[in-house]
Structure 1
Amino acid sequence: METIPEMTQYITNFSLDDCAKGNQGFTRVLLQLFGFLGHGKSSFINTCKYVLEDGEYKTYADVRYSDGGRTKARITYPLTETLTLVDNRGCPTMNNYEKGEIFAQLGNLLPLDEKVIWPNVKKGVQYNNKKDFTLVDRIIQSENVVKSSDFIFPIFVYSVKNGISSADREELKTLLKTVTELTGIFPVVVLTYKTYPNMREVKSIFEDMGVEQIFPLENFTPEDHIKTRGRHEEVLRFFREVIKDIEFRMETIWNPERERQKRKTFLVNFVHEREMKIQNDYMKNQSREKEQKEKKESEKNKESNSWCILQ
């Protein structure tokens, strides 16, 4: 069994240059964190930095602002010369608008360390409000900024405390499947608050979804950051397995620019389908409102005619 110093050295010394076919044009790995608000992404970042740097506990990602929904940017946190954590903006729900924004971040199609703009959606007026359909434009405008040389590795952070309802299971499964299609890699799942009683149940649900790599752990916090061997080993094992997965992926031939173009095409198609659905829903809603209005007018006319007859 590897010791903590051995695992730490393996992680910090990892280089894409040492992969079976070399770096293939990639210069770093972006560990793309994504998930819902309040599920521990920011605390996980602080935990990773604390374990790998092996110094005093510091708050790098402010939980009050990130997990509270105030994060307005894709923020990078370099871990080693090769590995960089990316705190992508979380979302309260996963409707089609927010999914589009999440996929654009995960596909690394939007700039790093810059403001993330959520669409301004108002129910019932989406089709007419063209300002809501700016995601593709932003992706095109960012093409000279984003780097094809970044290897994308998706990591889904989920809090055990929230459980998973029957209604959410299919939606989560579809989300993970879509992220796999976008990135070419099935997301690793990190379960926070592992000491909660329903941890095994939640882990089992993700396993039923087909998730192969699941890592339950307890984040360090400003109030609870006493170093223990068990908690350190959990984080180090997570990184070790992620690196092994990256090394396995790099055994096949990759073309960084082609991969970026594939992700862009995927996102553009997703947005197009989303807009077509919104357009159809809008037209149906307009037709329904028209029918209701005509029905009310018809009933009003009938009442009026009945009154005239009685007179």
Structure 2
Amino acid sequence: MQDIPEMTEFVKNFSLRSYDNEGFSRVLLQLFGFLGHGKSSFINTCKYVLDDTEFKIYADVKSSDGGNTTERITFPLTDTLTLVDNRGCSVMNDYETGEIFAQLGNLLPLDRAVEWSKGIGLMDRIVQAERHVKSSDFIFPIFVYSVKKGLTYDEVPEIQALLNTARDLTGIFPVVVLTHKTHSNLRDVETKFKDMDVERIIALENFTPEDHIKTRGKHEEVLKFYIEVIKDIEFRLQRMSNPEEEREKRKQFVLRFVYDRELEKKAEDTKRECQREAERMREMNNQEKSCTLQ
């Protein structure tokens, strides 16, 4: 096994220039998931380990994990690797997941406000954002989940659907990062993610302002995360078309998702309206019968 300095240099020296990648210039490590699951603390931890200097607050844990992050914020790690803190969601309904997929597919501008859209508003925003988005960005999805939150069997289907759709969108099954690994729920949460056919699960404990003493174990956990991600990037690079085609495929995927979502919503609204009308007619018939009897 490589020691910590060797692992650090391997990550820092990783470059897309040494691959026949047809135009990709950098990697966006796209963090996504629920609000309050440790994305911001994970960003601070990743920066702390790779920079190997004093602990700093790069991502505001209180505002981000509290649900106030409204931008896709970038945090450069190296000349090649950049972390992206995408706006999280509180529930997994089709409106919020549609927004997540638009961010995950890199179809919305970086370091700008992300406003949740109703109806087909998201489609308009995707089209308008085209001139601000770089096709040369390689997309790598990372799902962050807190072990402390636990995971019930009722929640598994929606998370599995989210991960599968992220895979279909990006061509890469998301790496799952489990934060708060020392919590008693770790084994149960790990098992449930394995049952979802997650290929790579990395459990770790984030550094925090209150606990940022450098230990070999914590450093190795984060560096191993980097190395595993780089291996997946190298594998995927050999099987991708050019950046423009990849971005176009992602755009068509998300636009189709939003379009299908709107059709389903209209069908559900029509069904509910028919049910209300049927109920109204039954009430009128009952009233007429009551008047006749009187």
CA distance in 2, matches of 1:191, 1:275: 33
| Residue in structure 1 matched with residue 11 of structure 2 by the alignment | 11
| 8 Å contact kept, 2:27–2:137 | yes
What SS does structure 2 have at the residue aligned with 1:153? strand
| Aligned-residue RMSD, C-alpha | 1.1
Q: 1:178-217 counterparts in 2 under 5 A?
A: 178-217=165-204
Q: Alpha-carbon deviation of 1:259?
A: 0.3
**Identity over aligned pairs, percent:** 61
* Cα distance per residue 1:221-243 (max 9 Å; x no partner): 11111111100110011001111
What SS does structure 1 have at the residue aligned with 2:139? strand
1:167 alignment partner, one of 151, 154, 160: 154
1:135 alignment partner, one of 95, 105, 122: 122
CA distance in 1, matches of 2:247, 2:58: 29
Q: Alpha-carbon deviation of 1:254?
A: 2.5
* Cα distance per residue 1:96-122 (max 9 Å; x no partner): 1111000000000000011111135xx
CA distance in 1, matches of 2:103, 2:273: 33
| Residue in structure 1 matched with residue 71 of structure 2 by the alignment | 73
CA distance in 2, matches of 1:265, 1:38: 30
CA distance in 2, matches of 1:190, 1:177: 16
| Residue in structure 1 matched with residue 101 of structure 2 by the alignment | 103
TM-score by length of 1: 0.92
> Which amino acid in 1 is paired with 2:135?
S
Q: Alpha-carbon deviation of 1:253?
A: 4.4
| Residue in structure 1 matched with residue 229 of structure 2 by the alignment | 242
What SS does structure 1 have at the residue aligned with 2:202? strand
Of stretches 297-306 and 197-206 in structure 1, the one that deviates more from structure 2 is: 297-306
* Cα distance per residue 1:269-306 (max 9 Å; x no partner): 11111001000000011111111112222222222232
> Which amino acid in 2 is paired with 1:145?
H
Of stretches 290-299 and 95-104 in structure 1, the one that deviates more from structure 2 is: 290-299
| 8 Å contact kept, 2:240–2:246 | no
CA distance in 2, matches of 1:144, 1:52: 32
> Which amino acid in 1 is paired with 2:285?
S
CA distance in 2, matches of 1:80, 1:14: 9
CA distance in 1, matches of 2:150, 2:38: 14
CA distance in 2, matches of 1:141, 1:228: 46
What SS does structure 2 have at the residue aligned with 1:167? coil
Q: Any stretches of 5+ residues in structure 1 without a counterpart?
A: 121-131
> Which amino acid in 2 is paired with 1:49?
K
| Residue in structure 1 matched with residue 290 of structure 2 by the alignment | 303
> Which amino acid in 2 is paired with 1:115?
A
| 8 Å contact kept, 2:180–2:205 | yes
What SS does structure 2 have at the residue aligned with 1:166? coil
Larger Rg: 1
What SS does structure 1 have at the residue aligned with 2:184? coil
2:239 alignment partner, one of 252, 256, 259: 252
Q: Alpha-carbon deviation of 1:252?
A: 2.8
Q: Any stretches of 5+ residues in structure 2 without a counterpart?
A: none
* Cα distance per residue 1:24-75 (max 9 Å; x no partner): 2001000000000111001100110111111111111111111111101100
Of stretches 199-208 and 27-36 in structure 1, the one that deviates more from structure 2 is: 199-208
1:50 alignment partner, one of 48, 51, 69: 48
> Which amino acid in 2 is paired with 1:138?
R
